[in-house]
Copies of this chain bind each other. A is one copy, B any other.
Amino acid sequence: MHEKAQRHRVVVIGGGFGGLAAVERLKGADVDITIVDHRNHHLFQPLLYQVATTALSPSEIAWPIRMLVRQRPEVTTVLGSVVGIDRATQVVELEDGARLPFDSLIIATGARHAYFGHDDWEPYAPGLKTLEDATAMRRRLLVAFEAAEREGDPARRQALLTFAIIGAGPTGVELAGAIIELARLTLRDEFRSIRPEEARVILIEAGPRVLPNFRETLSAYALGALQRLGVEVHLGEAVTEVTAGSVSYGGKVLEADTIIWAAGVQASPAARWLDAEADRAGRIKVNPDLTVPGNPDIFAIGDTVSLTGPNGKPVPGIADAAKQGGRYAADSIRTRLAGRTMPPFRYRHLGDIATIGRSAAVIDFGWLQLTGWVGWWAWGLAHIYFLIGIKNRISVALSWLWIYLTGHRSARLITFGEAGNTGSSEVYAPPDQRPETEKGRTPAVPGPP
């Protein structure tokens, strides 16, 4: 009577949008679930650019994964790094030697930025995928203004106040709008030597228009909105070289101390763990039911897979696609436990959304397009709705209201990697005792204590 048959074991790798949607959808199913992530937090990535540009603080867009599942006793959260998957014995291998056996596996490991064979550009043009990326970018942006304030040479000062963004997808467009507003609105009146109008924000895109995923009328609107804010947009010009402090494109060389990479992503190493077939971006080529060929119990979802949607176009690497994949995988596990099978996954594209500064946004629902301040309010409300928990919704709404009313951004902190600091708390340490701050570039102002 008291004996219990072992329940079906589901392992979910990755606590992002896809993984958490799967766990949510498995609520009440007769399964034991283990979530593995190398981070302790779920990150609301669509707002990460707002952390990088000082509007929000990291904890406003991140939640401990184990807190989100605390009321699910059948869910175990493991902080750990996956190093391999044994397809034959159905075991996930962690870096510390731990092994997690599974009956069903959901791989939801996302993507990182890709440099298309130019990995050497990364130190000079960092991308934006993690909270650490965001606080590092925030530091670079703020330090550039501080250094410019103290720079006597006009050419060097202009280079310090030049911000180049490579790639005009939603992240590039949103960063460009936020950085120019940071310079012209938030930092207004705070400097004595430089004037905020001196700051140049340059958006470089190899393709013919900004927001290439949107319909052309909305791309055109977004281009106009960026230009009205003062962003210089260069279309159809591919970047050919990035160095410490300069970017080459369209035959020109631009001196820019701050260069940001928003041009491409590459899948997680999940395909390597599985030795599975992948596309050029490393994304696993999955079956129409989101399983990995050869392993019907291994699902892969979200940014780490390559999949074609019903319209013949690739399923985009956005949060909603990952969530739909996670729900589908969960439903598949449930129906199989009930002895049935599911029809193939069918992606439904709900829409595209991007914001440009604090009073314009473009939204394309297919049946409805919104622009301008109507779009901006719809964008804001949608994002607050998608945040988790009342506390963070109030907190983000307050931060945005504050910026809207006063222009003040509340998270303007220059902080340094604390790792190097742990061993030394000398208040005014000489330079040689300081932790390395940025690879490939000596900061123009003094480093951390």
Contacts and interface: CB of A to CB of B under 8 A. Distances in A.
A170 interface: no
B126 A425 contact: yes
Contacts of A129: 425, 427
Contacts of A430: 83
A34 to B, nearest CB: 9
A90 to B, nearest CB: 20
A123 interface: yes
Majority-rule SS of A interface residues: loop
Nearest to A390: B402
A417 interface: yes
Contacts of A189: 70-71
B438 A419 contact: yes
B58 A425 contact: no
Contacts of A79: 143, 146, 149-150, 414, 445-446
Interface stretch (A108-116, A286-294, A313-321): A108-116
A439 interface: yes
A295 interface: no
Given A127-B425, A395-B410, 15 more contacts: A38-B449, A40-B413, A57-B58, A57-B60, A64-B190, A66-B191, A77-B190, A79-B414, A96-B150, A96-B446, A112-B427, A129-B427, A135-B418, A391-B402, A423-B439
A398 interface: yes
Contacts of A374: none
Contact of A427 (B268, B411, B425): B268
6 contacts: A38-B449, A58-B413, A79-B445, A81-B446, A130-B421, A395-B398
User: Most chain-B CB neighbours within 10 Å: which of A96, A112, A413?
Assistant: A413
User: Most chain-B CB neighbours within 10 Å: which of A39, A122, A131, A391?
Assistant: A391
Nearest to A188: B70
Interface of A: 38-41, 57-60, 62, 64, 66-67, 70-71, 73, 76-83, 94-96, 98, 109-113, 122-123, 126-127, 129-133, 135-136, 139, 142-143, 146, 149-150, 189-192, 268-269, 391-392, 394-395, 398-399, 402, 408, 410-428, 430-431, 435-440, 445-446, 448-449
Contact of A59 (B66, B70, B411, B449): B411
Contacts of A435: 417, 419
A284 to B, nearest CB: 14
Copies of chain A in the complex: 2
A442 to B, nearest CB: 11
B422 A439 contact: yes
Contacts of A413: 40-41, 58-59, 62, 64, 131
Contact of A132 (B57, B392, B416): B416
A76 B38 contact: no
A415 B132 contact: yes
B136 A419 contact: yes
A428 B38 contact: yes
A71 B439 CA distance: 36
A326 B146 CA distance: 25
A425 B96 contact: no
Contact of A122 (B77, B391, B424): B424
Contacts of A412: 40-41, 59, 64, 67
Nearest to A34: B192
Contacts of A150: 78-80, 96, 98
A221 B424 CA distance: 35
A82 B428 contact: yes
Contact of A395 (B113, B192, B395, B414): B395
B416 A391 contact: no
A244 to B, nearest CB: 12
Contacts of A411: 58-59
Contacts of A76: 192
